Chains A and B, each alone.
Chain A
Amino acid sequence: MTRPQWLLLPLLAGCAPGTWTVHVWGEEFIEDGIPAAEFSDGCDVVFDRFEVSVTTAELVDGAGDAVGSVPAGVWELTDPGPQEMGSVDATKGQYATARFVIGPTSGSSLSVAGTLTCAGSPVTFDWTFDSATTYDCEPTDLTVTPKDTTATELTVHGDHLFYSDLENPDAVLVGTFIHGADQDGNGDVTREEMALVDLAPLGLGVGSHGDITDLDAYIDQQVRTVGHVDGEGHCTVSY
């Protein structure tokens, strides 16, 4: 190869696309459970199922346009992760947003089952939710470089289902309010039972969601907050 051709190689490499790879992970809290030490009231929880339906995972540029997306799918987060959702070629550059939509595909957007134990007394739960929530996330560095892979992780926080407040930054994990919703005493807490529980006497905070007055609506709203990026990165929620 003559010298001029050698000189062109770096230029060609600069035109090559990079790769955006997306993972999803529920972390140890979903895979292994949330220990009593994390709860303010000594409860603990183990998930048997934590199925999340991601209908959109796309790379968004500064103009708000999606420039690439990875396939939608349903992910069982009790399986060991992080799990790769897919990859897509992307033009080199710095991007603004990784956008995820957790929404229903075949009926549910989030399907969770497990066992909550408080004071040695276990109750099971098996809930599905059908809300669709868009998370616009801004990872610390969303720069795609030629011939290289930039990874983004949709991190799902299972502990949010047990937060004591919808908005207060000092919210803690509590389980007794769900445990106490087993109104028929059969050892299983259903969404129908939670819908009968008045929120006001429970000591939970709803912040600006003053229209939420029962426990089921409260948990349904918490479901809209589970999406994060790259661990603890926050995302803007819209629905």
Chain B
Amino acid sequence: MTTRIWCIALLTGCVADRPLRTVPVRLEAYTTHPHLALDTVEISLLSVHLNGPAATSVRFVPLLGPVRTAHGHPGHGATGATVGEWLGPWTGDLLDGPHTLGQASVYAGDIATGQVTMGTDTRVQLVGTVTPDHSATPLDIELDLTIDHTGTTLPLVVTVPEEATTGVLEVSVDLDTALSFVDWSTADTDGDGRFTHLDSAFADSLTFGITNSQTWALALETP
């Protein structure tokens, strides 16, 4: 019983007791799609949060079991305590990167997940050319993300050593994945020979792709 009490005390111990580090946050996007030639991909980022293991680890068994998700109900994400954060906002062209967004504060210790937040009423602009069927079609989209995209929770299983003093938090964006959900063969719904916001097929598919957890990745490199 005494041992158990000690374990609980450690697991519920204040995160702030751990050393606090600052690491630069770097944002980079990439695309290798043979039919997409992008000139501009402008987005706004609100924040990046890093979370410790879910509090359910205190319950002993789930920590050892195959816990694939901590979400049992919309809005009831049992993520762990916030152990790191970068606060924006930052707005810029992903294609001009890599960008250094500033410094993130990160406590030493275990990290389990991260969250990239674009925020409410964020505008994403994409300009370029698409050649889905060997004919180049201009792309010029301004997409309004009208819901708060805090749900883009990403795996980031890493331990920040207490002695670490350097490192970098990498945020990467796979634009090929972001645009892979659009059916380009039917996307020009108004038939004007351009992919624009007037083409109704775009909004939901692009939102799905840009906010998709497969599009974003986090990595915390420590020495």
Contacts and interface: CB of A to CB of B under 8 A. Distances in A.
B201 A201 contact: yes
Interface in A125-158: 134-136
Contact of B4 (A62, A199, A208, A224): A62
A234 B73 contact: yes
Interface string B57-75: 0011110011111111111
A5 to B, nearest CB: 33
A135 B61 CA distance: 12
Interface in A175-221: 198-203, 205-211, 213
A225 B72 contact: yes
Interface residues of B, number: 43
Interface string B111-134: 001000000000000000000000
A236 B68 CA distance: 11
If over half of B's interface residues share one DSSP class (helix, strand or loop), that class is named, otherwise mixed; here it is loop
Contact of A170 (B65, B73, B147, B154): B147
B71 A166 contact: yes
B204 A238 contact: no
Interface string B1-21: 000100000000000000000
Given A168-B151, A200-B181, A234 B72 contact: yes
Contact of B205 (A165, A201, A238): A201
A25 interface: no
A210 B54 contact: no
Contacts of A228: 73
Interface residues of A, number: 42
Contacts of A239: 66, 68-69
Interface of A: 60, 62-64, 96-97, 134-136, 160, 163, 165-171, 198-203, 205-211, 213, 224-225, 227-228, 234-239
11 contacts: A64-B61, A167-B74, A168-B151, A201-B208, A210-B213, A228-B73, A235-B72, A236-B62, A236-B67, A237-B70, A238-B69
